[in-house]
Amino acid sequence: MNRLEERGEELAAVRQDGLLKQLLRIYLSPPQPAEEAGAADVSNLTPALFSAYRDLDALRYDFPVVLLDGPDERVGVPLSSLMDELVARKVADGTGDGRQRRDLYKLERSIKTLTAQTKEQRLGPLWRSATKRCLAEIDGGKRREALRNYLRSARSTLSQDGLVVDCDEQIGHKFFSHAWTRIESERGLQTRETLDELIADLSAIIDADRMRSARATSSDALRTAMGAEHAGGIDFDRLSWTLRSSGHYRPLKASRRKRLRRVLKVLKTERKRLGSNAGNGKSPRRPYQPKNIADSCVDALELFNAELERAVELFRAVRIARLEVENRYDEARHDPFFAGFDQAQLTTEELRALPTVLVFVANDSLDGDNKAALIDILSSDLPIKVVLEFRDLPDSLPLGAGSVGYGGWAASLGSMTMGLRTALVIQTAASHLPRLTAEIADGLRHNGPALFCVYTGPEERDIQVSRYLRCASAVESRAFPCFVYHPGRGSDWAQRFSLLGNPEPEQPHPKHVFNFEDADGRERSEEIAFTVVDFLAMDTRFSAQFVPIGPEEWHPNMIPLGSYLGIEDSETFGKVPYVLMVDQENTLHRVIVRRGLVTAARRCADKWHSLQELGGIENSHALRLLQTERQRMIEQTGTEPPVASEPEPVAEDIPVPAAEPTTGDEPEPQATTAAGEQAHIETELCTSCDDCTDRNSMMFAYNDAKQAYIKDITAGTFRELVEASENCPVCIIHPGAPSNPDELGLEDLVRRASQFN
Amino acid sequence: MLNPIEVLSPSISDIEDDAYSLDDFEGVDSRWCHRCGNNAILTAAQKLCAEEQLAPEKTVFVSGIGCSSRLPHYMGTYGFHALHGRALPVAEGIKIRRPDLHVFVTTGDGDCCSIGAGHWLHAIRYNMNITVLLHDNQIYGLTKKQASPTSPRGLISNTSPHGAYLEPLNPLAATLGMSNISFVAHAVDWVPSVLFDIIKQAYHHRGLAFVCIMQRCPNYLPDHFEAYIKDRDRTVLLTHPQGLQVEEAVAGRFKHREEHDPRDVDRARELANNRDRVPLGILYRNPDVLCYEDVRASDEHMTVADKIAALEGELDKFTIKPPTKQ
Ligand SMILES: Cc1ncc(C[n+]2csc(CCOP(=O)(O)OP(=O)(O)O)c2C)c(N)n1
Ligand code: SF4
Ligand code: SF4
Ligand SMILES: [Mg+2]
């Protein structure tokens, strides 16, 4: 039977099947206006995979985030991670037993609740308020006192502080302003040091000249300077003569003095802008506050141009100052050079020292001028950092009568910009900002333009779940995948591009196991793909695209959307895709997804696949080459070459909330080694000499008392452990036995270790 | 509507802000060599400040010149990095004028026992309420390995290429021989809990507490103290109900222990003179010795303006000021 005949038979079968016909009609037709009005049907349903995350309060996830002050290198860290670090330190120093850990996690939860209720606050006050709450729940005075002391000591162990922020509509703004301000301040500080040095050196030249001038060494001047009480005791004429006749003082040339003064003035003006950290009675502490933040690309360009003009002035002065300090300024040579000094003379180093500009734009405000300026920026080498915030993904917005349309080019700006090869690009949703903090900081430090595309989610009324989940699901569903493109990291895609932050990057969709009870009360589980359709199902503007079907109307031709997307177009005939959703009572429903959305899902999968190819996954060129080679081998040898085994998927954490950590008294995992011999440090004998902690700060750390312990045995090799033992000045690091039998040179290492065990 | 933070009772306000932690006492990053024994002394000092909750603005570390004398930079308190050998007189000046401050001195064997020896003698006699930490690495570290008065005989150094000629000066024995001593103790940098407890007791002693600390200089004398570190035979832990408070876990590691009454100056001198088995602990303590500031401190009150005027008056005597522009 050929394909046409087959299709004919299928068609006939469908025609005879009234129910299937009805289901197909639902699937294939766009929603009618009337249906749209009455589409409340699905608005109380949520995708099945979300049912576990309804009560975010009870879960721990990447928010709230603490926007850390220095000196912690990280610019932002989830509160939950900070608390985990704290717990680890407390456990290590023996003050983190089951109850104490429970107390700390309780406090964390309280801080989280307070963060959601109040406007932004720093960790310090939040910790205090949360402590009060926790104490208020306790009856016994003794226990309360103990808890108060414990939380106080925990707070001093956790030295960090910073603003605590939730995943709200301002998060993009808060996060980037904070990270940028910290990085800009570092840059400012470096410039400040240079300027301070030059100012001191130039002033010294001018002062020395003044101190030795005829005026300063006249007997009158000396008399005034030394004060009345020496009037009788010192012969000032003699002193003046002595000073004037000693040495070979030649006054500065007038032109040089004038030049020094002019340069000093420029340096001092610039220095003033950079603030001062230490205050004194006269001038209070005035930390450097970078100011170049714009809200349109046009303004950003203007700000940067102003910076450039100032830079020409400044670096002219800096270069003259350097020559002057070394006494190498030669007027005949240098005057003409500096007269013609302009932007073109600025070196890369100097450009790197320039303040950068941060600009926030929303994707829906990219009008003509702004758009042009954005493209100018991204194709230039100016250090302008653009944060492009997406409240909606135009690709998937409903067009007209509830159908889904395309044409939003802005959502693809991230991918498009990579084509320019000049700008650094990071794309992520707000939920994933904490995971990409290090990359973002790198991007802000990058010496050139950067584009940060951040999905922050639509207005609250349009979505049924929290903003955090909304954003996390944009990444999870591949509607807004994360990626990093860093043009400074090498010359090829493998070095420049990464799909960091995405769950299961090798797969078209991440899959999750969903457990449920069927109508007969039997436990069942099903693997469900998380697609863009699940993402859109939480958006009330798409309600009309979903039609729930009661169990009496279920048909064998209904197939889960994940599987539906996996089959060829030609094979989909007569099949109806559905997604699983649950209502408030946790009852499971099958919901038909209309064709418009399925097309959107295919399109989204296609875009994701292109990104995968860039990331070296399922790369079509490589696959084709492999096929050709395979063919060639078969022809040459007559045998089939062995098939390479599937690579292990790269484990990427999915940033969906985790359940509260267990706070019971279960034993902590120990740093055990294969032979059962434990690596350890006699912490109480540590002399805090920094040797092991400098060697590998992930493996060795100091406790509250600044004495070393093994923080993470897996964070380094056995070799490092043995070398640390050998170098510890008081021989208190005992390396135990190796845990990785494949480590190189193990025999020798074990022998060396034996002296310290 | 009230902000929920505001409705909470103020009974336990600011609980963590009024507590200093170890970090509060950290100054700039240290420039000492890797594994230098000075680190242990620094940590003990920071720990003391944190444990005693000393207000950083009320605490001052005074030093002379030397590696050890860089310690004030690494503390988050006030500090005075003075001239070579002159830490003690500067500290005395501070103490007499500002008896409300906690004054510490960190000094090296060169700084204290060589160029500063004269001041050392008198500081002991003055018995002002100051804690003195002598970092005795038996070498000049900062100036790159010259013999110091405490270098053992035969030690090869840049100034004694054929070995040091004389028997070393023993700072413990010397101090115990001076007049008006009130607190003398001996510590080693490689047993941190003992070091800490000695420094703590020194801090609590009213009068001049002199703590001599054997300090490793791995850079110039890598194995110099190895014999003491490895051979437990070579130290004796001094215990007494009024002496050290060290946990049994640490005390138990010492082969030799002696119950020594810190009032017994004769035994203290015997112990101090035994270089084959160095004592670890409090050799001498007498809280009843008169402190110089108790009889000499002025109770004259000066306002900030008075102080500035006085200072400027002093400085004007020495400044050659060019006339200001008319
Ligand atoms: C008046 C004066 N003389 C000499 C020196 C040179 N100098 C600097 S440090 C030092 C010796 C330091 O030895 P020590 O006090 O033991 O300190 P360490 O570096 O060993 O800690 C000398 C001689 C000086 N700075 N000032
Ligand atoms: S090397 Fe030894 S003494 Fe130094 S910090 Fe590490 S454990 Fe402590
Ligand atoms: S030279 Fe010696 S005393 Fe000085 S810092 Fe280096 S190791 Fe320490
Ligand atoms: Mg020395």
Summarised one tens digit per residue, pLDDT across range A187-246 is 888 898 899 999 999 999 998 888 888 888 898 888 888 877 777 778 888 888 888 887
Check: CB of residue A18 under 8 Å from CB of residue A557.
no
B32 lines ligand 3 (CB under 6 A): yes
Residues paired with residue B131 on neighbouring β-strands, in sequence order: B104, B209
Q: Inter-chain contact B15–A727, Cβ cutoff 8 Å?
A: no
Contact B145, B241 (CB under 8 A): no
Q: Pick from A118, A152, A224: which is nearest to B5 by CB?
A: A118
Chain B's closest residue to A705, CA to CA, is B47
How far apart CA A417 and CA A413 sit, in angstroms, is 6
Q: Which tokens is A339 given?
A: 């007269």
Predicted local confidence at residue A96, as pLDDT: 80
- Would the CB atoms of A729 and B218 count as touching at under 8 Å? yes
State residue A420's pLDDT score. Answer: 84
Region B207-230: mean pLDDT is 94
Per-residue pLDDT, A282: 60
**Rounded mean pLDDT of B64-76?**
97
Cα A115 to the center of its chain, rounded Å: 21
Residue pair A578/A549 in contact by the 8 Å Cβ criterion:
yes
Q: Are B187 and B211 in contact (CB under 8 A)?
A: yes
Asked whether A732 lines ligand 2 (CB < 6 A), one says yes
Tens of pLDDT, residue by residue over A160-191, are: 899 999 998 899 999 999 999 999 988 888 89
Question: What's the B214 CA to ligand 1 centre distance in angstroms?
Answer: 17
> Does the pLDDT of residue B1 top 80, yes or no?
no
pLDDT value of residue A425 = 95
The CA A138 to ligand 2 mean position distance, Å, reads: 41
Interface ipTM: 0.76
pLDDT tens-digit map of A70-112: 778 898 999 999 999 999 998 888 888 878 888 899 999 999 9
Q: Name which residue sits closest to atom 17 of ligand 1, judged by CA.
A: B66
How close is the nearest chain A Cα to the Cα of B321, in Å? 5
Report helix, strand or coil for A733.
strand
Task: Reply yes or no on whether the pLDDT at A354 is more than 60.
Answer: yes
Whether ligand 2 lies within 6 angstroms of the CB of A730 is answered as: yes
Buried/exposed code over A199-235 (b: 16+ C-beta within 10 A; e: otherwise): beebeebeeebeebeeebbbbebbbbbbeeeeeeeee
Alpha-carbon distance A99 to A89, whole Å? Answer: 15
Asked if pLDDT for residue A668 goes beyond 80, the answer is: no
CA distance linking residue A52 with residue A560, whole number of Å: 20
List the single best residue of A153, A688, A727 to mutate versus B (max B Cβ within 10 A): A688
Q: Identify the top-confidence range among A523-532, A715-724, A728-737, B174-183.
A: B174-183
Residue of A nearest to B316 (CA): A226
Yes or no, beta carbons of A707 and B19 under 8 Å apart: no
Does the pLDDT at position A4 exceed 80?
A: no
Per DSSP, helices labelled H in A137-170 are 141-157
Quick one: which of A350, A3, A424 has its CA closest to A190? A350
Which pair of tokens denotes residue A466? 């929290």
Contacts of B173 (CB under 8 A, 6+ apart): B269, B272, B273
Q: With an 8 Å Cβ cutoff, are A704 and B216 in contact?
A: no
Q: Is the previous residue joined to A738 through a cis bond, with omega within 30 degrees of 0? A: no
Q: Establish whether residue B138 lines the binding site of ligand 1, counting it when its CB lies within 6 angstroms of any ligand atom.
A: no
Give the model's pLDDT for residue A123.
94
Please answer yes or no on whether B19 and A127 come within 8 Å at the CB atom. Answer: no
Protein residue closest via CA to atom 6 of ligand 1: B143
A691 with B22: Cβ contact below 8 A = no
Does the beta carbon of B225 lie inside 6 Å of ligand 3? Answer: no
Note if the bond before A71 is cis, omega within 30 degrees: yes
Interface test with A, best of B34, B38, B216, B230 (most A CBs within 10 A): B34
Mutate which of B16, B26, B47 to disrupt the A interface (most A C-beta within 10 Å)?
A: B16
Structure tokens at A654: 């999915």
Mean pLDDT of B235-257: 89
For the ranges A396-410, A725-739, B286-300, the maximum mean pLDDT occurs at A725-739
pLDDT, residue A141, reads 79
Residue B324 corresponds to which tokens in the numbers above? 């200001």
A225/B321 Cβ within 8 A = yes
- What is the rounded end-to-end Cα distance, in angstroms, of chain A? 77
Chain center to CA of A59: 21
Identify the sign of the CA torsion A402, A406, A411, A415: positive
pLDDT-derived band at A675 (thresholds 50, 70, 90) equals very low
- Is residue B280 within 8 Å of residue B260, measured between CB atoms? no
Instruction: Find the closest chain B residue to A729 by CA distance.
Output: B35
| Res B15: pLDDT | 34
Task: Tell whether ligand 1 has an atom less than 6 A from the beta carbon of residue B141.
Answer: yes
Q: What is the pTM of this model?
A: 0.57
Residue pLDDT, tens place only, B8-42: 222 233 333 457 889 889 999 899 998 999 999 99
pLDDT on residue A252: 87
Q: Is the pLDDT of residue A399 over 70?
A: no
Tell me the CA–centroid distance for residue A105 and ligand 4, in Å.
Answer: 49
Min distance B209 CA to chain A CA atoms (Å): 22
* Ramachandran category for residue B53: left, alpha or beta (phi over 0 → left; psi -120 to 50 → alpha): left
> pLDDT band at A673, cuts 50/70/90?
very low
Return mean pLDDT, chain A.
83
C-beta of B84 in contact with ligand 1 (< 6 A): yes
Q: Which of A452, A572, A550 is nearest to A501 (CA)?
A: A452
Would you say the CB of residue B140 lies under 6 angstroms from ligand 3?
no
- Interatomic CA distance for residues A121 and B219, integer angstroms: 48
Is ligand 2 within 6 A of the CB of residue A726?
Answer: no
* B199, B321, B324, B325: best to mutate for the A interface, most A CBs within 10 A: B321
CA distance A609 to A606: 5
Please report the sign of the dihedral spanned by the C-alpha atoms of residue B241, residue B246, residue B247, residue B249: negative
What digits encode the pLDDT tens for the residues A637-652? Answer: 777 666 554 444 443 4
| pLDDT mean over A317-338 | 93
**Amino acid at site A450:** A
**Set of chain A residues whose Cβ sits within 8 Å of the Cβ of B222:** none
SS3 A328: coil
Averaged over B58-68, what is the pLDDT?
Answer: 97
Of all residues in chain B, the one with the smallest CA distance to A724 is B35
Residues of A in contact with B303 (CB under 8 A): none
Which residues are bridge partners to A47 per DSSP? A581
Q: How far does the CA of residue B242 sit from the closest CA of chain A (Å)?
A: 23
pLDDT per residue as tens digits for the range A5-61? 666 676 777 777 888 888 888 888 877 665 544 444 677 788 888 877 777 777 888
Using alpha carbons, list the distances in angstroms from residue A223 to A202, B311, B316: 28, 20, 12
**Angstrom distance (rounded) from CA B173 to CA B270:** 8
Cα separation of B220 and B157, whole Å? 9
Question: Quick one: closest CA in A to B312, which residue?
Answer: A227
CA distance B127 to B292: 6
Strands B183-188 and B131-136 come out as unpaired
Q: For residue A703, which of A720, A718, A688 has the smallest C-alpha distance?
A: A688
CA of A216 to the centre of ligand 2 (A): 58
The more confidently predicted of residues B64 and A466 is: B64
Whats the size of chain B, residue-wise?
A: 326
Taking 80 as the threshold, does the pLDDT of residue B296 lie above it? yes
- CA neighbor of A478 nearest in space, from A390, A602, A566: A602
The per-residue pLDDT for A626 is 80
Q: Mind telling me how many Å the CA of A314 is from chain B's nearest CA?
A: 29
Q: What is the pLDDT of residues B106-132, one digit of tens each?
A: 999 999 999 999 999 999 999 999 999
